[in-house]
Amino acid sequence: MYFQPWDWVIATVVPEDELLEAKRQVADQGRRSVLLLAGVGGVTALLMAGLALVLARAITRPLGQVVGALETVAAGDLRQRVNLKDHR
């Protein structure tokens, strides 16, 4: 770099292995970050799938009871009752 007030040229010398070490550390940190994000994403996906399964069962169980009662009524048994108040 040229320093005009004193008419100097300023240069620095850095060993190449120091620069490469910094590059390696940055690359290693990047890999760790990707692995951490992939792990967190995987755990989140599993938790969301479990929650979706629980919610789906909570919705379909009462519907299954109603369908079963309707099939029994269609077969001629008109005494069927379904209590859906317990499923809130």
Given a cut of 90, whether residue 83 has pLDDT beyond it is no
- Per-residue confidence (pLDDT) for residue 79, from 0 to 100: 85
Query: What is the average per-residue pLDDT within 37-55?
Result: 98
- According to DSSP, residue 3 is labeled E
- Per-residue confidence (pLDDT) for residue 80, from 0 to 100: 82
- According to DSSP, residue 2 is labeled E
Query: What is the average per-residue pLDDT within 58-64?
Result: 89
Given a cut of 60, whether residue 87 has pLDDT beyond it is no
Question: Are the beta carbons of 84 and 66 closer than 8 angstroms?
Answer: yes
Structure tokens at 50: 């479990």
Mean pLDDT over each residue of the chain, to the nearest integer: 90
pTM equals: 0.57
- Per-residue confidence (pLDDT) for residue 77, from 0 to 100: 86
Structure tokens at 56: 């789906």
